[in-house]
Amino acid sequence: MRSLLIISSYPPRFCGIATFVEEAVEFMKKARPDTKIEIISHTDGAGEGVHPVIDLKDKRWYAGVAEKIRRLNPDAIHIEHEYGLYNYQGRDPRNREFIRLLDLIKDYPTVIEAHTIHGRLKESEEWFIKELLKRCTVLIVKCEYQKWRLYWTFKDNKKIKKLLGKVTVVPHGARPDRRYGDEEINLLKEELGLEELRGKHMAGMVGWVQYNKRWDIVINMWEEIEKAIYQKTKQHWLLFGAGDIRDEDDREEYSKYVMTLKGLEKKGIGKYFKFTPRGEIYYKVMAICDFIALTSVDETQSGTLARIIATNTPYITTAPLEGLTAQTVDSQGGLLFTDRDSLKDGIIKLACSEKLRRKFGDNLKKYLDTKVNWEIVARRYYEIHQKAIDAKTGRAQINFPPNL
């Protein structure tokens, strides 16, 4: 394959998928330096090989994108999909304009990487997946459960069930070069301007501060939690909230979280650190925490979790919550909670057992090295692209077997 075109959001946009693609491209270029990679992004994308032509103010944005694709004429197309990325002014949850784009580029081998495939599809989502399967060459989902749930959803639809051989699983990639040893943690704290935290034990909440991340659950229980930890270990712990606001709709919650954290800081058991969760600093902030509380309530797959895995940081996260639960079970790198009491108990358990934290960190290292390392994922992408090219040219058929 000589040329690959990726369609996605892209930095400097503050978007999880934009950052995901930025990392994916970095490792794909390392894997095959001879393959030319170009990107069609929204109008706020920028960088080498980036064509910012997706204008969602235009109802016919897909026509301009299709014309640009014809001019670039790639060997294969890889599209990152999230419903909001291709939705004209937020008016069409069925993403009909995206389907029209696929109709216009039907002659190209097209791999679609879906970042949201819920276990129980809404009616509009079920319609969309049907139309997607009719048009794409390969559909990538992020977790095994998503694939077997599709077989269950469409078990009585013979036409769509036949198309499920197009579906394959590629996990969210994680960087292999952002692990820090114990001896580096205090140095990282100094580098970040957090010298006062040297030697402190910290439970972290790190990333974009949004209502759906529900930092308030931990913040509101922290005094009780910290007291219980101290009674068991005779060690004081800090609740370390680090990040910034991304969406102004979350301004009210953000202000409450920060104000409460600052109140805990006055009592010597909390700290708020403002930073933009992007780039290398994101990993460094994650790494200085003894463990992470990832309390998201509505995500199927999390870029935050990919950074937790990259730094081998133990964690506790929400269950049952699709991708978060699936990767926790697969990696054996953290605890799951289902309500406030199990969250409180899990945090106390992690804080009181260095042995458990070490075990989870070791499990995450193994999971990273063998399954989700970006170097492994990049090679898998290229294998899939070649299968798509072969299928489109009639040299082979796409038929990924069911996983259950």
Residue 274 phi, psi (nearest 5): -90, 125
Give the C-alpha distances (Å, rounded to integers) separating 383 from 111, 138, 276, 339, 388: 11, 11, 35, 41, 9
Mapped onto helix, strand or coil, the DSSP state of residue 247 is: coil
Give residue 302's pLDDT: 82
Find, among 114, 178, 171, 141, the residue nearest to 307 by Cα.
178
Residues of the chain with pLDDT under 70: 300-301
Inter-residue long-range contacts of 36-39, CB under 8 Å, 24+ positions, other chains counted: 36/2, 36/3, 36/4, 37/3, 37/4, 37/5, 37/6, 38/3, 38/4, 38/5, 38/6, 38/72, 38/74, 39/5, 39/6, 39/7, 39/8, 39/10
Give residue 91's pLDDT: 73
Each residue's pLDDT tens digit, 226-252: 999 999 999 999 999 999 999 899 999
Letter string b/e over residues 6-39, b meaning 16 or more CB atoms within 10 A of that residue's CB: bbbbbbebbbbbbbbbbbbbebbeebbeebbbbb
CATH topology of domain 182-372: Rossmann fold (3.40.50)
Q: Are 308 and 294 in contact (CB under 8 A)?
A: yes
Give residue 301's pLDDT: 62
Mapped onto helix, strand or coil, the DSSP state of residue 211 is: helix
Each residue's pLDDT tens digit, 26-69: 999 999 999 999 999 999 999 999 999 999 999 999 999 999 99
Q: Are 114 and 140 in contact (CB under 8 A)?
A: yes
HSE-CB for 142 with a 13 A CA cutoff = 27
> How many Å apart are CA 109 and CA 389, to the nearest integer?
5
Q: Report the amino acid identity of residue 140.
A: I
> How many Å apart are CA 86 and CA 92, to the nearest integer?
9
Give residue 247's pLDDT: 87
Q: List CB contacts of 346: < 8 A, sequence separation 6 or more.
A: 316, 335, 336, 337
Q: Which residues pair with 114 in a beta bridge?
A: 81
Give residue 257's pLDDT: 95
Find, among 311, 294, 297, the residue nearest to 364 by Cα.
311
Find, among 289, 299, 227, 213, the residue nearest to 256 by Cα.
213
Letter string b/e over residues 272-295, b meaning 16 or more CB atoms within 10 A of that residue's CB: bbebebeeeebbbbbbbbbbbbbb
Give residue 398's pLDDT: 95
CATH of domain 3-173+374-392: 3.40.50.2000
- Fold equal for 3-173+374-392 and 182-372: yes
% the chain with pLDDT above 90: 91
Q: Report the amino acid identity of residue 59.
A: K
Residue spans of beta strands (DSSP E) within 283-326: 291-294, 315-318
DSSP conformational letter for 197: G
Residue 320: is the preceding peptide bond cis (ω within 30°)?
yes
Find, among 112, 127, 147, 68, the residue nearest to 322 by Cα.
147
Give residue 89's pLDDT: 75
Q: Are 243 and 303 in contact (CB under 8 A)?
A: no
Please report, for the chain, the start and end positions of each structural domain, with discontinuous segments joined by +: 3-173+374-392, 182-372
Q: List CB contacts of 298: < 8 A, sequence separation 6 or more.
A: 212, 321
